[in-house]
A and B are shown apart, each in its own frame.
Chain A
Amino acid sequence: MIDQETKIYALSESSVTVVLGDEISSQMAEKVSALNSAIHNSPFEGLITTIPAYATLTLYYDPEKVIHSRLAGESAYQKVSGYLSALSVSRISKENSTRLITVPVCYGGTYGPDLELVARHSKLTTDEVITLHASATYTVYMIGFIPGFAYMGGMDTRLSTPRKQQPRTQVNAGSVGIAANQTGIYPLDIPGGWQIIGQTPIQLFNASRPEPSYLKAGDTVRFKPLTINEFKSLTS
Chain B
Amino acid sequence: MQIKILRPGLHTSIQDLGRNNFLSQAVPVSGAMDSLSARIANLAIGNGENDALLEFTYGNAAFKCETDILMAYAGGGSNLVALGELLPSRRAIFVPAGTVVDLVNNEHGVRTYLSVAGGWDVEEVLGSRSTYLPAGFGGYQGRLLKKGDLLRSCSSLGPSTTSLLGKLRGESVKQASWAIPYNFLRSENANTVRIFAGREITWFEGRSVIDLLAEPFTIDLKSNRMGISLKGPQMERAITKELLSTGVCPGTIQVTGNGDMILLMADCQTTGGYPRIAQVASVDIPLCAQLKPSEEIYFSLIDHNEAELLLFQQQAEMKKLSQAIHNKL
Contacts and interface: CB of A to CB of B under 8 A. Distances in A.
Interface in B24-38: 24-28
A11 B21 contact: no
Contacts of B271: 51, 53, 142, 144-145
A149 B308 contact: no
A146 B22 CA distance: 12
Contact of B247 (A22, A56, A76, A146): A56
A185 to B, nearest CB: 12
Interface string A132-174: 0000000000111111110100000000000000000000000
A58 B239 CA distance: 24
A151 B304 CA distance: 31
Nearest to A144: B271
Contacts of B279: 10-12
Contacts of B247: 11, 15, 17, 51, 53, 56, 58
B20 A145 contact: no
Contact of B135 (A52, A64, A77, A205): A205
Contact of A49 (B24, B132, B199, B307): B24
Contacts of A13: 281-282, 304, 307-308, 311
A149 B269 CA distance: 11
Given A49-B23, A146-B269, A15 B249 contact: yes
Given A64-B312, A208-B125, A213 B25 contact: yes
Contacts, number: 132
Nearest to B21: A49
B26 A149 contact: yes
B270 A144 contact: yes
B267 to A, nearest CB: 11
A234 interface: no
A207 interface: yes
Nearest to A76: B308
Contact of B269 (A49, A63, A144, A212): A144
Interface string A44-59: 0000111111111010
Which size bracket describes the interface of A in this complex?
Answer: 35 or more
A54 B246 contact: yes
B163 interface: no
Interface string A107-148: 000000000000000000000000000000000001111111
A151 to B, nearest CB: 8
Contacts of A144: 26, 245, 269-271
Contact of B25 (A48, A76, A211): A211
Nearest to A50: B24
A188 B135 contact: yes
A188 B309 CA distance: 40
Interface in A51-99: 51-56, 58, 60, 63-64, 67, 75-77
Contacts of A75: 305, 308-309
Interface of A: 9-15, 17, 22-24, 48-56, 58, 60, 63-64, 67, 75-77, 142-149, 151, 188, 190, 205, 207-208, 211-213, 216-217
17 contacts: A13-B311, A17-B246, A54-B244, A54-B246, A63-B311, A67-B312, A75-B309, A77-B308, A143-B270, A147-B27, A147-B28, A147-B135, A148-B25, A148-B26, A207-B126, A207-B138, A207-B142
